């Protein structure tokens, strides 16, 4: 509670931040080449994935700067698209310019959105399984991309994201990922000090995120409706299906592991994990785990202990620590503290990171500057995936093998509404490492 109060005291109101962002972006764009959107400085957005996250991210994007409009939408399901469209039109009527002709439903909805000539940038918020193919389609169509985390659910998907990110660089397209922790003021200030040597060489670390069980997520999909096929139920219940979400270590805790990679300015070289499914065990919770513990080793031999769970009634905790040769650093949702030779405690301004990530991308597009977070988020996603792979199988594994040799591909046999048996819950020691 105290930590949340600290954050609230330091946060600017959203209205103040939006005013500040709009003014700064306007100033940045004054001398920029504006011929990125049919010869104007207007940025037109296409949304792919119209669930809660898509509605949220699009709201933030449209509020992040002036002269930004939503002009196209796509989703697998018409009811989700219609609900999102109504919500956005009520909140941001002057910025929502979609028509019936620019709303698309079905397996090819993403292709139709990126094929719209007037779309400059797309927001990708379908379940994570689809991120690699949607990113590929968007970059090949010449669109800038904001994509939510994680960006894949298996090594095959990670490799695809990296390839698309390299193509984006060659085509001078921006990619921003939804790892908003990278834009938290206290973490930005603290990480700069770590990278400047304030705690010396990092020798070890700890990453903890203990939270609730997500038991009330999408209550309407808990009980499968009679007319839903296997595929439809799994898609609507995607958070609890590994092939769609990557399990919670990837879908949510990628944020925390991304911060550890940020501290080391590197990805791990190997890991060994444990995990299981003890409390959240009903069929409505698909085939994901409810707790993980993974030891990651980084290039200099430093080890980071990650512990995460989604179980009701446990003590809440979410923080990170690293220990170096000259001191240690601690961070949580609102604090960054360094102890040792170069003591430091962040007490500066704050802002909304979920607004700033969009403001940064819009500014980069308008200035024609490089901003590509594709490889970085792919590597953080892989960090979480390899932890899950190790926990699911009980096997230690190395980064190079997972990144270059693993053939794990969680894609279904075909993309159509019909029968799709749910994969069994992984059993360490029995589930094979692929």
pLDDT per residue rounded down to tens, the chain (434 residues): 333 333 333 333 333 333 334 333 333 333 333 335 444 689 999 999 999 999 999 999 999 999 999 999 999 999 999 999 999 999 998 999 999 999 999 999 999 999 999 999 999 999 999 999 999 999 999 999 999 999 999 999 999 999 999 999 999 999 999 999 999 999 999 999 999 999 999 999 999 999 999 999 999 999 999 999 999 999 999 999 999 999 999 999 999 999 999 999 999 999 999 999 999 999 999 999 999 999 999 999 999 999 999 999 999 999 999 999 999 999 999 999 999 999 999 999 999 999 999 999 999 999 999 999 999 999 999 999 999 999 999 999 999 999 999 999 999 999 999 999 999 999 999 999 99
Fold identical between 2-181+368-373 and 185-348+377-404?
no
Cβ neighbours, 10 Å, residue 99: 8
CA distances (Å), origin 14, targets 45, 104, 344: 21, 31, 28
Each domain of the chain, given as residue ranges in start order, spans 2-181+368-373, 185-348+377-404
Closest of 367, 364, 383 to residue 375, by C-alpha = 383
Q: Please list, residue by residue across 348-367, b when 16 or more beta carbons sit within 10 angstroms of its beta carbon and e when fewer do.
A: eebbbbbbbbbbbbbbbbbb
- The answer to whether the CB of 92 falls within 8 A of the CB of 59 is yes
CATH code: domain 185-348+377-404 is: 3.30.360.10
Tell the CATH topology of 2-181+368-373: Rossmann fold (3.40.50)
Return the pLDDT at 17.
35
The model carries a pTM of 0.91
Q: Position of tokens 């709303």?
A: 103
**Predicted local distance difference test score (pLDDT) of residue 28:** 35
């Amino acid at each position: 509670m105290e930590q949340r109060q600290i954050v609230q005291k330091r946060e600017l109101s959203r209205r103040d931040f939006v005013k500040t962002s709009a003014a700064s972006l306007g100033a940045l764009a004054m001398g920029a080449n504006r011929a990125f959107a049919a010869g104007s400085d207007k940025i037109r957005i296409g949304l792919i994935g119209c669930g809660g996250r898509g509605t949220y991210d699009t709201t933030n994007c449209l509020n992040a700067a002036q002269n930004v409009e939503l002009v196209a939408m796509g989703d697998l399901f018409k009811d989700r698209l219609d609900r999102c469209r109504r919500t956005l039109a009520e909140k941001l009527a002057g910025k929502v310019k979609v028509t019936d002709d620019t709303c698309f439903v079905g397996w090819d909805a993403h292709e139709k959105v990126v094929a719209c000539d007037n779309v400059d940038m797309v927001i990708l918020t379908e379940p994570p399984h689809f991120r690699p193919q949607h990113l590929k389609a968007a970059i090949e169509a010449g669109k800038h991309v904001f994509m939510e985390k994680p960006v894949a659910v298996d090594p095959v998907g990670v490799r695809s994201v990296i390839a698309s990110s390299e193509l984006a660089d060659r085509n001078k397209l921006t990619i921003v990922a939804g790892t908003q922790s990278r834009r938290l003021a206290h973490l930005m200030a603290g990480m700069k000090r770590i990278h400047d040597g304030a705690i010396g060489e990092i020798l070890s670390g700890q990453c903890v995120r203990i939270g609730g069980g997500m038991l009330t997520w999408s209550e309407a999909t808990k009980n499968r409706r009679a007319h839903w096929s296997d595929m439809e139920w799994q898609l609507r219940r995607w958070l609890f299906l590994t092939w769609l979400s990557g399990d919670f270590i990837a879908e949510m805790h990628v944020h925390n592991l991304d911060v550890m990679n940020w501290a080391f300015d590197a990805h791990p070289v190997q890991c060994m994990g444990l995990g299981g499914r003890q409390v959240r065990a009903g069929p409505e919770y698909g085939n994901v785990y409810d707790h993980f513990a993974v030891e990651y080793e980084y290039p200099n031999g430093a080890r980071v202990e990650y512990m995460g769970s989604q179980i009701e009634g446990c003590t809440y905790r979410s923080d990170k620590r690293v220990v170096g040769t000259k001191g240690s650093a601690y961070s949580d949702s609102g604090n960054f503290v360094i102890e040792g030779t170069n003591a430091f405690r962040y007490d500066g301004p704050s802002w909304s990171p979920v607004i700033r990530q969009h403001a940064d991308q819009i500014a980069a597009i308008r200035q024609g500057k490089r901003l590509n977070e594709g490889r970085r988020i792919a590597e953080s996603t892989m960090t979480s995936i390899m932890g899950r792979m190790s926990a699911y199988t009980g096997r230690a594994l190395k980064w190079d093998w997972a990144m270059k040799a693993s053939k794990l591909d969680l894609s279904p046999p075909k993309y159509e509404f019909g029968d799709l048996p749910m994969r069994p819950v992984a059993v360490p020691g029995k589930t094979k490492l692929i």
